[in-house]
Amino acid sequence: MKKTILTLVAFMLVMGMTQCKKEQTTTNVNPADDGETVYITMKVADGGGKHIVYPGTGAVVYGDGDKIYVGNNGHYVGTLTYANGAFSGYISNPSTTDYLHFYFMGGKTPATAPTAGSTTSFTVDISDQSSKLPVLSYGHSNTKYIDGTTAYTCMLENKCGLVKFVPTTPNSSTISISGMKTTATINFASGNEGIDPVDAAGTVTLYSVSDTEKWAILLPQGEVVSPTVNVGNYACTMTSTITTIPEVTTNMYHTTGIRVRVPGQFRVRLSEEKKVYFSPGNLQYIGSAATPYWKFADNQLEYLGDSQNEQGEDPNIDRDRFGWGTSGWNNGNLYYQPYNRNYNTENESRGYGPTDGNGNYWLSLTGDYVNADWGVYNPISNGGNQAGLWRTPTEGEWRGLVSNNSWGLSQVDGLNGLIVLPIDWVLPDGLNFTPGATSSYSTNIYDSDQWALMEANGAIFLYAYSYSTLWSNWYGMYWSASHYNSRRDNANYMNITSYEASVNSGYRNNAYCVRLIQDVE
At residue 309, what are phi and psi to the nearest 5 degrees? -80, -15
pLDDT value, residue 168? 84
Nearest to 505 by CA among 488, 487, 492, 486: 492
pLDDT value, residue 439? 59
| 121 beta partners | 187
The two most distant CA atoms of the chain are separated, in Å, by: 101
Out of 48-52, 134-138, 480-484, the most confident range is 480-484
**Structure confidence by residue, pLDDT tens digits, 164-191:** 898 888 888 899 998 889 999 999 987 6
d(CA 227, CA 239): 9
The model carries a pTM of: 0.78
Q: Report, as an integer, the average pLDDT of 456-482.
A: 80
d(CA 387, CA 374): 9
Out of 82-91, 212-221, 301-310, 386-395, the most confident range is 386-395
Residue 45 neighbours by CB under 8 Å, 6+ apart: 8, 9, 10, 11, 12, 23
Within the chain, how many helices (H) and strands (E) appear?
4, 37
Four-point Cα dihedral 140, 141, 146, 147, nearest 10: -100
Residue 19 pLDDT > 50, yes or no? no
**Structure confidence by residue, pLDDT tens digits, 430-465:** 999 999 876 556 789 999 999 999 998 899 999 987
d(CA 212, CA 351): 49
End-to-end CA distance of the chain: 64
Three-class SS of residue 409?
A: strand
Q: Report, as an integer, the average pLDDT of 378-394.
A: 93
pLDDT value, residue 52? 61
**Structure confidence by residue, pLDDT tens digits, 269-305:** 876 778 999 999 999 999 999 999 999 999 999 988 7
Residue 35 pLDDT > 80, yes or no? no
Asked whether the beta carbons of 328 and 322 are under 8 A apart, the reply is no
Residue environment code for 458-469, b if the CB has 16+ CB neighbours within 10 A, otherwise e: bbbbbbbbebee
pLDDT value, residue 473? 63
Nearest to 284 by CA among 397, 374, 377, 364: 374
Residue 387 pLDDT > 80, yes or no? yes
Residue type, 360: N
Nearest to 218 by CA among 179, 256, 261: 179
Nearest to 306 by CA among 515, 513, 516: 513
At CA 85, angle to CA 17 and CA 157, rounded to 5?
Answer: 20
**Structure confidence by residue, pLDDT tens digits, 310-355:** 556 789 989 999 999 999 999 889 899 999 876 555 567 888 999 8
Residue 255 pLDDT > 80, yes or no? no
pLDDT value, residue 282? 96
More confident site: 276 or 56: 276
d(CA 303, CA 511): 13
Residue 350 vs residues 173, 327, 476: alpha-carbon distances, Å: 41, 16, 22
CB atoms within 10 A of CB 193: 12
